[in-house]
Each structure stands twice: as C-alpha cells, then as structure tokens.
C-alpha cells in the first residue's frame, strides 16, 4: 500500500484551462530496515529503472548509502519532449516549442506574452510606450539594468538589428521557404535576413536613436505593436562575427533538430567577411581604455583594463551594426544578414557565442543530444533573478520514462505528453503534485475550395451551388458531438475540461469566444452518403478518439467520414485538394492578432481553408490596424462570430496537458531541490517566460 496518494491540489490556473499543479504533501509511511539513509523517503515504484543525469549530475537512486551530491540541491532537472533548435526567435526553428521553452528561461526583454494574450512589460529591462496614434509611433527606452550575460549593456544596436531582420526593408530577394517557414536556400552574396514580420513590415523607415531610446514610426497602425519588436540576438556578437576578419568561421555542421523545425542551410563558404572601410569599427587594440584609480593593485588594474578593452570592443562592433543599418551599407549587411540567419542554432556552445550571450537570469552552458543546461547569469541585474544555480532541461526521455525519473529523483519536474497510461503512472507515485490543464484549442476547420465537397464549384449543376455547400458545412459541423468528445477524449485526462468556443486561439482575455450563429438549413438526407475526408493526426489518442466519435455522428447525418492517410502538417498547407475538413490544434502566435488575420482573411498567408468573405475581410482589416486593446477585442469577437455563423470553423476543446512535480521537504529530502508552484506546461504558447516563474525570485 502506498504511504500517500498522488497529490492533486486544485489551486492555480493553467493556460487556457484549470491547472491542478500545486503543493503536495510528503508521504508519512514508516521506513523499514532496508529504507534509504539520510532521511530519504521510501518510494512506491522502487522497481523503476534508474536514469543517469548527464553533465556530471549523477544518478540519484531511490535507496543508496552513498552521500548525495551537494550540487544537486542547487540544480533543478526538468523533463519535456521538446527538443531545442534555436535561440533566434524570429526563425522557424526558434519558434519550435522546445526553443520557446529555452528562450523563456534565458532571455529577458521589454515584454512577455501570457497564454491568454496579456502583455506584461519588464521595466527592469525597459519600457514600451505608444507616443502617438497618427502615425503610430512607439518609443523603446532601454533600462540601465538591461545587460547581456557577457556584461555588455543592451543598446539601440540590438533593436536596430532586429528591425533590419524583421521589417524586410533591407532584404534584396524574396526567400524560398519550406512548409515550416524556414529559408531553404539562398545566394551567398545578397542581403537576406528572410524573417519579415506582419507588424514590422509596416514600419518602413529606419528607427531613430537618441541615447538609450529607439523610436519606431509605422506607416499604418498595427494591433500587435506592444510585442512587434524586442531584443533577440546580441548585435555586438553578430557584428563581430560578421565583420571581423579574425573572427572564427560559422559552424558548418547542421544542428540536430527535428525535421519539422530545421533551420536554413548554411551556404558554402560562410565565414567572416572582410570589414569594409566605410564600416570599419574601432579595433580593440586601438580602443580607448577607461582610466582607473591609482589605488588599484596590479591584478585589479589588469582586470579593469581587460574589462575596459572588452567593453570598448563590444561597443565598436555594436556601432558597426548601427552604421550598417542606418546607412544601408550593403557590403556590411550581406555578412550581417548571413550570420543572423545562422546564429543561435542548437550546436556546441563553444562554436556559437550567441548561444551563451543572453539577457535573462540564466545563460546556456551546454547543448547536447539529451537536452540543454543553463547556469545562473551572474551579470543579470533585472527584477527576476535566478533561484537555482543550474537548470537542466532533458529532452531525451519518453513520457513513461519521465514519470519514472520523477519517482527516482532524477527529474524534479516532468511535462510528459498526457495519455491515460502516463497519467495513471503519475497517479501511482507518492509525494508528487500532478497538474492537469488545457493547451492548444482543438478545432475542426472546413476546406471551402480545392474542389472538395464543401466547395461550391463542386455543385455547379445545382441552382444555387453556394447554398448547397453552405448547407453541407452546416450539417457536418452540427453533427459533431462536442460534449461527447470532451467527455470521452479529454476529461479522463483533465477533469475540468469543457467544450471550447475559442476561435482565435489565445489572442486576448475572453475576447475570442463566439457562440454559434443561426445555422444554415441543412439539405435533406441524401440517398447516398456524402463523403467527407477528415485530416488529423490519428497517432494522437485524443484526436483518434475524437475522430471516431465524429465519424459515428456524421453517419447519422448521412455523411461518411473517411480519414486522410497523410502527414497532417504537410498536407494541411500544401495539398488542400486531399481533405475536406481538418481536426487540428491551434497554437498561440507571437503576433496574435496578425496571425489570426492571416489565417482567415481572403488570400491570407496562412489561410489553408480557402475561406473568402469580403464582409469579414473588412472586419479583419480594421482589426489588424486597431492599436487600442479594447476596440481590438471587440473586432476580434465580431470576426470569431462571423466565422462560426458561416460554418468555417468549429472549436471543440483544448488539448490536455500534464505536469508532474516532485514534492519534497528540506529536512527529509536533504541534497535535493525543493520546487513549488509549478504551473502546467503548455507547449502551444508562443512565449513561455511565465512558466519559468518558479525558477526566479
């Protein structure tokens, strides 16, 4: 018999749902003669295989007479099957969930985005202020406490570099992108950052610099102005790497990342470029050295001289970036854009200084096949300092192995994929807190073009083809048993799961829900069933159960649902003719409003359904250009309502998420870290800074 049940407290709110993560109660069972020494508690699953921690952390057995590694108490180990791909948040690889997770731990910036779309400003980093509405003018003021982990102050060069990369104004060619949005190939001698954002492409003028202030003027208003621009890669590091002929070459070995998030291919011959005379920054050897006091000892004097030289050198390379952007110096911008595209990828930290130069309370120390390790950033001066010496993020364990690792004290927090067997294994543990909640919104979207059953052109012989297509859409969506899907597919994994009416995934608090409008009258049941090809990932148990329920219910409405046997991610974007409806989880985007508009506007960049509605386009155009939060929320609600009424989309439920945290007591668990208040990890969030709050103080 177990000493205690798995702890399932009810306090807290997960992203898009209710979290049960919280503080658990330690077991009270009596240890027998063979129990662990040093006050270690007995475990219910003593037979679980031991897991070895890399990087010298060592394996912590459930029962051992060996002394506990004293460094372990200051090291938190987190496990999640979310591989890290890149620190460059503007690239496809940098937007992968594992990259977002790592960046949320090591990077600070002006703002962070909560799961519900709320924007929070970190004033210890700086402020973002809307100066005027016409034209939309946004002022960024960098705080003196904002520093890179090498001690170099964050400066205007860092924002100018990101504007250059994200505005698209300096790119000389339109890049070729793969299905994931990554640049697949490009010439070696062109200016190409290849990462235009829907917001900054509307800020065509080079931002102005005044001391620690950078001002951006938009050509037209944008709704996402608060999160449109932030610090990403260090300009002084990118500048030196691109412009210093003595800098080491770029890494030539492709990073080991998931295929879906592979980054741009490094062009042959990538390496440091000769600095043009027009942009030649001051050489470190000729940089002015700050004066030191006469009281300094020789050792102190040497350290001060070295720091002064390093600061002057960094300032020179940062200024070279500023000059290149302001003067649009092509000779400098070609290598700068090439380095920017390549830098920050998952590789040996010793070969890429952008990996170890960050602004947050932690800094990357190692990247390997099993995950990443970060250490306390001693130069961090912001408001959210590190609580631990090290955080190890393991990405090499399958879901059940993650649970076993928590049981063995090899992992402190695990966020495995939530399935019934994984949840049952977690509930069988002692001394854990189990958090469940909701993540991405699972939606059923309808393909309105490409010659499918919901395309009016497929009913050209009918008196009113559009009415026939609308009636079929209404009949199909009305047949979906949303309550049954919630009850059978999700509620066993998340007790508080409810039917979702969220159309615009995680854009703004309570702003994107919409009740269904009056349905279009459905046609009479046909003698022969109408075939509906549904695209979804049937390897996911939740979607597999949902598809079975949808299939059975549709049959009662005279429709035969046929699953599409193809890769959902690729087929959704590239082969619209192969599916009539798709059951897909919709994640948050780093520009939430712009992403929603691109998804549903006629001809939108990510409009995979072929939806076209001039009336909705007018609403979406107004939404995209609405800088006022409250008014944007109203426009978003109107757009969501129109899509539901049309029969373009049907929200179903949020996908389940699970987080398991070891519950410990400092006295009975010596040498192990004590963690608390860990929220449910939701990988679909565009920013996971909020999730790491428990690792900061």
CB 330 within 8 A of CB 238: no
Is the predicted pLDDT of residue 265 greater than 50, yes or no?
Answer: no
Residue 525: pLDDT band with limits 50, 70, 90: low
Is the predicted pLDDT of residue 276 greater than 70, yes or no?
Answer: no
Tokens representing 153 are: 């102050």
As a whole number, mean pLDDT of residues 523-543 equals 83
Is the predicted pLDDT of residue 263 greater than 50, yes or no?
Answer: no
Is the predicted pLDDT of residue 697 greater than 70, yes or no?
Answer: yes
Residue 501: pLDDT band with limits 50, 70, 90: very high
pLDDT of residue 46: 35
Residue 306: pLDDT band with limits 50, 70, 90: low
Lowest average pLDDT, out of 62-71, 442-451, 654-663, goes to 62-71
Is the predicted pLDDT of residue 201 greater than 60, yes or no?
Answer: yes
pLDDT of residue 3: 32
pLDDT of residue 495: 97
Ordered DSSP codes for 451-481: T-TT-GGGGTTSS-HHHHHHHHHHHHHHH--
Residue 528: pLDDT band with limits 50, 70, 90: low
Give the containing element (helix H, strand E) for 619.
helix 614-624
As a whole number, mean pLDDT of residues 161-169 equals 97
As a whole number, mean pLDDT of residues 314-324 equals 97
Is the predicted pLDDT of residue 600 greater than 70, yes or no?
Answer: yes
**Cα distances (Å, whole numbers) of residue 443 to 240, 309, 584, 628, 687:** 46, 56, 6, 28, 21
Give the containing element (helix H, strand E) for 156.
helix 156-167
Is the predicted pLDDT of residue 511 greater than 50, yes or no?
Answer: no
CB 381 within 8 A of CB 126: no
pLDDT of residue 36: 35
pLDDT of residue 43: 47
Residue-wise pLDDT tens digits, 204-233: 999 999 999 999 999 999 999 999 999 999
Please give the Cα distance from 564 to 587 (Å, whole number). 22
Quote the mean pLDDT of the chain: 83
As a whole number, mean pLDDT of residues 610-624 equals 96
pLDDT of residue 181: 67
As a whole number, mean pLDDT of residues 496-505 equals 92
CB 432 within 8 A of CB 426: yes
Is the predicted pLDDT of residue 117 greater than 60, yes or no?
Answer: yes
As a whole number, mean pLDDT of residues 8-30 equals 35
pLDDT of residue 675: 95
Is the predicted pLDDT of residue 100 greater than 60, yes or no?
Answer: yes
Residue-wise pLDDT tens digits, 131-147: 999 999 999 999 999 99
Is the predicted pLDDT of residue 53 greater than 60, yes or no?
Answer: no
Q: What is the rounded (10 degree) CA torsion for 159, 162, 164, 166?
A: -140
pLDDT of residue 256: 39
- Which tops the pLDDT comparison, 349 or 395? 395
Residue 5: pLDDT band with limits 50, 70, 90: very low
**Cα distances (Å, whole numbers) of residue 571 to 436, 564, 574:** 31, 9, 5
Q: What is the rounded (10 degree) CA torsion for 160, 162, 167, 172?
A: 90
Lowest average pLDDT, out of 29-38, 352-361, 526-535, 554-563, goes to 29-38
Residue 672: pLDDT band with limits 50, 70, 90: very high
Quote the percentage of the chain above a pLDDT of 90: 70
Residue 70: pLDDT band with limits 50, 70, 90: confident
Residue 350: pLDDT band with limits 50, 70, 90: confident
pLDDT of residue 65: 43
Neighbours of 520 (CB within 10 A): 19
As a whole number, mean pLDDT of residues 351-371 equals 96
- Give the ranges where 541-603 is alpha helix by DSSP (H): 541-556, 568-574, 592-600
């Amino acid at each position: 018999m177990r000493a205690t049940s798995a702890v399932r407290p009810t306090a807290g709110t997960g992203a898009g749902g209710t979290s049960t993560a919280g503080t658990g109660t330690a077991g009270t069972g009596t240890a027998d003669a063979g129990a662990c020494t040093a006050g270690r508690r007995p475990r219910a699953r003593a037979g679980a295989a031991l897991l070895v921690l890399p990087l010298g952390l060592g394996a912590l057995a459930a029962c051992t007479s060996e002394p506990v590694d004293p460094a372990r108490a200051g090291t938190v180990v987190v496990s999640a099957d979310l591989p890290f791909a890149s620190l460059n948040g503007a690239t496809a690889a940098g937007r992968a969930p594992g990259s977002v997770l790592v960046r949320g731990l090591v990077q600070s910036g002006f703002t962070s985005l909560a799961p519900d779309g709320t924007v929070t400003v970190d004033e210890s980093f700086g402020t973002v202020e809307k100066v005027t509405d016409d034209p939309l003018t946004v002022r960024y003021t960098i705080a003196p406490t904002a520093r890179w982990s090498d001690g170099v102050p964050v400066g205007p060069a860092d924002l100018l570099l990101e504007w250059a990369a994200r505005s698209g104004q300096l790119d000389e060619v339109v890049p070729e992108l793969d299905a994931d949005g990554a640049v697949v190939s490009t010439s070696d001698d062109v200016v190409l950052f290849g990462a235009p954002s829907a917001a900054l492409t509307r800020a065509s003028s080079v931002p102005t610099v005044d001391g620690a202030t950078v001002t951006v003027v938009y050509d037209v208003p944008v709704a996402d102005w608060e999160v449109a621009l932030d610090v990403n890669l260090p300009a002084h590091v990118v500048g030196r790497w691109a412009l210093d002929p003595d800098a080491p070459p770029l890494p030539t070995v492709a990073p080991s990342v998931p295929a879906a998030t592979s980054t741009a291919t490094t062009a042959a011959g990538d390496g440091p470029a000769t600095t043009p005379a027009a942009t030649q920054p001051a050489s470190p050897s000729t940089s002015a050295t700050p004066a030191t006091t006469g009281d300094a000892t020789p050792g102190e004097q040497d350290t001060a001289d070295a720091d002064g030289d390093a600061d002057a050198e960094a300032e020179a390379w940062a200024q070279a970036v500023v000059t290149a952007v302001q003067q649009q110096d092509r000779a400098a911008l070609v290598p700068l854009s090439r380095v920017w595209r390549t830098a920050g990828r998952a590789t040996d930290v010793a070969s890429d200084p952008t990996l170890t130069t960050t602004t947050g309370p932690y800094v990357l120390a190692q990247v390997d096949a099993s995950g990443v390790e970060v250490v306390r950033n001693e130069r961090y001066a912001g408001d959210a300092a590190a609580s631990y010496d090290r955080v190890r993020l393991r990405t090499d364990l399958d879901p059940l192995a993650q649970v076993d690792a928590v049981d063995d004290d090899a992992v402190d927090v695990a966020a495995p994929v939530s399935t019934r067997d994984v949840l049952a294994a977690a509930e069988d543990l002692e001394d854990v807190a189990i958090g469940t909640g909701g993540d991405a919104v699972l939606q059923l979207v309808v393909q309105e073009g490409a010659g499918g059953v919901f395309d009016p052109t497929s009913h050209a012989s009918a008196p009113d083809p559009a009415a026939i297509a609308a009636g079929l859409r209404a009949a199909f969506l009305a047949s979906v048993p949303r309550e049954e899907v919630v009850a059978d597919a999700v509620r066993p994994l998340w007790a508080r799961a409810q039917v979702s009416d969220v159309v615009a995934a995680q854009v703004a608090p309570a702003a994107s829900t919409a009740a269904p409008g009056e349905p279009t009258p459905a046609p009479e049941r046909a003698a022969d069933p109408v075939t509906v090809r549904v695209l979804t990932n049937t390897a996911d148990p939740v979607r597999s159960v949902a598809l079975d329920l949808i299939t059975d219910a549709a049959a009662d409405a005279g429709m035969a649902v046929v699953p599409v046997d193809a890769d959902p991610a690729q087929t959704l974007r590239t082969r619209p003719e192969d599916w009539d409806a798709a059951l897909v989880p919709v994640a948050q985007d780093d520009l939430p409003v712009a992403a929603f508009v691109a998804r549903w506007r006629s001809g939108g960049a990510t409009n995979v359904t072929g939806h076209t509605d001039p009336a909705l386009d007018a609403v979406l155009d107004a939404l995209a250009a609405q800088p006022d939060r409250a008014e944007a929320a109203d426009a978003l609600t109107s757009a969501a309502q129109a899509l539901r009424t049309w029969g373009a989309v049907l929200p179903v439920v949020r996908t389940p998420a699970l987080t398991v945290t070891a519950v410990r007591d400092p006295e009975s668990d010596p040498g192990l870290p004590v963690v608390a208040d860990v929220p449910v990890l939701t990988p679909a969030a565009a920013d996971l800074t909020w999730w790491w709050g428990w690792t900061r103080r």
